[in-house]
A and B are shown apart, each in its own frame.
Chain A
């Protein structure tokens, strides 16, 4: 199979993720968009790893997954604590740091 198919799929996934981050207000959905973008990047790593026949790309993908798992823990904890204190998960309401 041609590598470009994987790349196109990754691009589509990334764009869907980015658009999700930009247009949705719900923090959890935004979070899912971020995960989608990370996995689009992972797919690209794997596709090129397969194409070149070495494991560096797969290694990078594992790194991303581990980091993403850790990030999910922290990010969800923040969202939960925000929800507890402010009774909302809308990103547009979290504007206390406005300049």
Chain B
């Protein structure tokens, strides 16, 4: 296996370029901006958003410089580890604060800072009327800083810092309007679900430390070559748990729908384009571990397959526009997870889908925000309809995103998602059933995706207007439409560009070397079947929600089992509530009672005892000198008696 691992140790010997040495600025610029905006406070209200926009732009400039520099290096020499300073120094663990600048991390840096920058611009207009816009930008910058730290870290510990940072930023932004109780509750729910996942990452680090005595990527991956399969499987499963929490994968996916409580730019940036893909990044980055733990890899694939269906089914039934998009995000990340679990070849397509998804899903979320802006924060799709004539730019940009997620050639999703479906059909190690099962799930998921995304698109923009009274839809200002247009352009072209420039050849040296397998069905058949299913799904959606004859009821009609279940997120909250929340609450109540009765009771009893004894003894201190004298005399007589008794 040693030959297979191409974690170019060459970077150790080669000198680092200036651009790579300065990559820390990508983290420092948004972090400094966030700190400044928070510390200066209200005084920065007038110019805070300008600084907030400038920070990701600056970070993007540095990232782009590093990227150009990276491309100028020979392919084998592109992995650079930059040690900034000694971070943790102890007898058993020495860790430097180091960044890994390579093909994978820079792809993420560019995605986060570019899409993030566009969303910052959009937010200037979207949050224009919010009194706390400066604080909003501070949190967004904090998120960007934490996210790039997460992807640039060259050790699991530093990655964990970024991991927690994005969790914190996500919590702060979901609950940005925390004056509304249900939003604050949604933020808390996301935070708690993420903590469950974090336990997985911590456990994984503990196992690494106890087995390998190191936590840096280099050290762990080198040690993994000689580690036992059982250890690696355990680490892999713990990492998968972490990825499930962060990426809203089954069974920790319940928080993502509620996370839509945050302002729409937050949903676009954090809960669609970047943070929720951190789990995919973790799995792809930990490739050398998963490569030697087939059981853990299979678990990743199963989780991805389950989630992609789960999200798709939920997405079909949601009437809340943002929640339908959230379900779609869940489902698309399921695709990425599935691909990441398929090995290094799939991992490349996972990252590619992640990049294209970052563009088209962020674009659609911004479109949703634009629609909400026009419709006075209405999110019920049954109350939209016929908006295409009133919001031409939003309609067109949304259409690009819609075509991209459907995977219609030559839009972006076609190049990434189709490859994933094809990879899913590959049977690893002669396990034919795996190829068939996962391939068909991915294929069926594509059909469902076409249905629910078309349903969303048609319900919003086509059909009869079903608006509530007093709505006057209008196009959004240029500050909002321009970022949407740029993202729409990406939705159209990014897949084609990435394929033409050979993204897989670019990324592959940063990953474990993989073997291209043959799918159990011919690639043209798979592609044809996918497109056919997509067309069928879209047509069903058109006849039911889009065409002039379609009658969309304003209230959700009565429905039978599966639809009711899908409307309720397949009862995930109910299950969580019964299995974890209720027992947890009982446990906490009992613990509180025990604390009250036993611990506090003991303290209270002691106080009562001391008080009682003190009261008794205090009576002796009556201030009469004669009584003191009597006490002394009695004491002396007593002592004398004792001494005499001892003599006898």
Contacts and interface: CB of A to CB of B under 8 A. Distances in A.
Contacts of A1: none
Nearest to B619: A99
A98 interface: yes
B626 A22 contact: yes
Contacts of A98: 621-623
A21 B626 contact: yes
B629 A21 contact: yes
Interface in B623-639: 623-626, 629-630, 633
A54 B500 CA distance: 124
A18 interface: yes
A51 B633 CA distance: 28
Contact of B623 (A21, A22, A30, A95): A95
B579 interface: no
A18 B625 contact: no
A97 interface: yes
Nearest to B621: A99
Interface string A72-93: 0000000000000000000110
Contact of A95 (B618, B624, B629): B624
Contacts of A99: 618, 621-623
Size category of the binding interface on chain A: 10 to 19
Contact of B633 (A22, A25, A30, A92): A22
A89 B626 CA distance: 13
Contacts of B630: 22
A14 to B, nearest CB: 10
A68 to B, nearest CB: 17
A97 B628 CA distance: 12
A56 interface: no
Contacts, number: 31
Interface in B486-514: none
A71 to B, nearest CB: 15
Interface in A21-52: 21-23, 25, 30
Contacts of B625: 30, 91-92, 94-95
B619 to A, nearest CB: 9
Interface residues of B, number: 10
Which of B623, B630, B633 is most buried by chain A, counting CB atoms within 10 A of its CB? Answer: B623
B629 A92 contact: no
A96 B623 CA distance: 7
Nearest to A21: B629
Contacts of A22: 626, 629-630, 633
A44 to B, nearest CB: 13
B156 to A, nearest CB: 64
B118 to A, nearest CB: 78
Contacts of B624: 91-92, 95
B468 to A, nearest CB: 78
A43 to B, nearest CB: 18
Interface string B274-300: 000000000000000000000000000
Contacts of A92: 624-626
A95 B623 CA distance: 5
Nearest to A97: B623
A32 to B, nearest CB: 14
A96 B622 CA distance: 10
A81 to B, nearest CB: 16
A18 B633 contact: yes
Nearest to B636: A18
A76 B630 CA distance: 22
Contacts of B623: 95-99
Which of B618, B626, B630 is most buried by chain A, counting CB atoms within 10 A of its CB? Answer: B626
B454 to A, nearest CB: 88
B620 to A, nearest CB: 8
A95 B627 CA distance: 11
A83 B625 CA distance: 16
A21 to B, nearest CB: 5
A34 to B, nearest CB: 9
B535 to A, nearest CB: 96
Nearest to A99: B621
Interface string B454-482: 00000000000000000000000000000
A23 B629 CA distance: 10
Nearest to B622: A98
Contacts of A94: 625
A30 to B, nearest CB: 8
A91 B626 contact: yes
A21 B633 CA distance: 10
Nearest to A24: B626
A96 B625 CA distance: 11
A54 B451 CA distance: 123
Contacts of B622: 95, 98-99
A94 to B, nearest CB: 6
B297 to A, nearest CB: 78
A91 B618 CA distance: 20
Interface string B363-375: 0000000000000
Nearest to B637: A18
A98 to B, nearest CB: 3
Nearest to B633: A18
Given A91-B626, A92-B625, A95-B624, 5 more contacts: A23-B626, A91-B625, A96-B623, A98-B622, A98-B623
10 contacts: A22-B630, A23-B626, A30-B625, A30-B626, A91-B624, A91-B626, A94-B625, A95-B622, A95-B623, A99-B623
Interface of A: 18, 21-23, 25, 30, 91-92, 94-99
Shortest 7 CB-CB contacts between residues of A and residues of B: A98-B623, A99-B621, A95-B623, A91-B625, A21-B629, A22-B630, A22-B626
